[in-house]
Amino acid sequence: MITTLIEREAEPILISDLTWREFKAVEQLIERPGLRLSFLDGVLEIRKMPGKKQETIKKRIASLVEIYLEFLELDFTPTGSVTLENEFEKVKKEGDKSYELGANSKRADLVIEVVVSSGGINKLEAYKRLQIPEVWFWTNDELLFYGLGNEGYEAVSKSQLLPSLDVGLLMRCINTENHAQALREFRAGIKIIEPT
């Protein structure tokens, strides 16, 4: 299984009690390749950029999602790990992958995170403040779906944005060792489903 190869990464460094202005100043001082900075409610989180194994899972999930979106003939824009921030909400976060769904979308509708370490800021709270409709987490060899409701995020059994997505097929293909084989298997599996 590909996910068993992911090793736990170092825990993030957390710096508390910063104002937004102080955070932006610190961000200018320490922004460099290899580091990812997030911010929520006065807490700065500094993480090392993902390693090869995390990147492999991220790319696999992204490839499968994009195949599916093309199959459905949906307009979409992959926005990668674009930085999302809101000074009023005191939040800055970037997911591993994000997508704008629809021709006229102005912000990410779906964010995907591959979690290989614990600790840090509350990711769901950060995405709630950024009003991201759906977040997927790959953690402990499992894909977890969260949909944004009136009270915040709720764990759901499948994607609300892509309700016809076969989660079992997606999981099998994420866990297939060979990347090209995973993509072929996924394409073959979705062809039996009619686009909605």
pLDDT digits (tens, 9 = 90+) for 155-181: 999 999 999 999 999 999 999 999 999
CA distance 150 to 86: 19
DSSP 2: G
CB neighbour list of residue 156: distance below 8 Å, 6 or more residues apart: 145, 146, 147
Task: Give 123-153 pLDDT, tens digit per residue.
Answer: 999 999 999 999 999 988 889 999 999 989 9
Bigger pLDDT: 29 vs 50 = 29
Say yes or no to pLDDT of 7 above 60: no
* pLDDT for the residue numbered 9: 52
- Six token digits for residue 146: 């969260």
The pLDDT of residue 57 is above 50: yes
CA neighbor of 65 nearest in space, from 143, 178, 152: 143
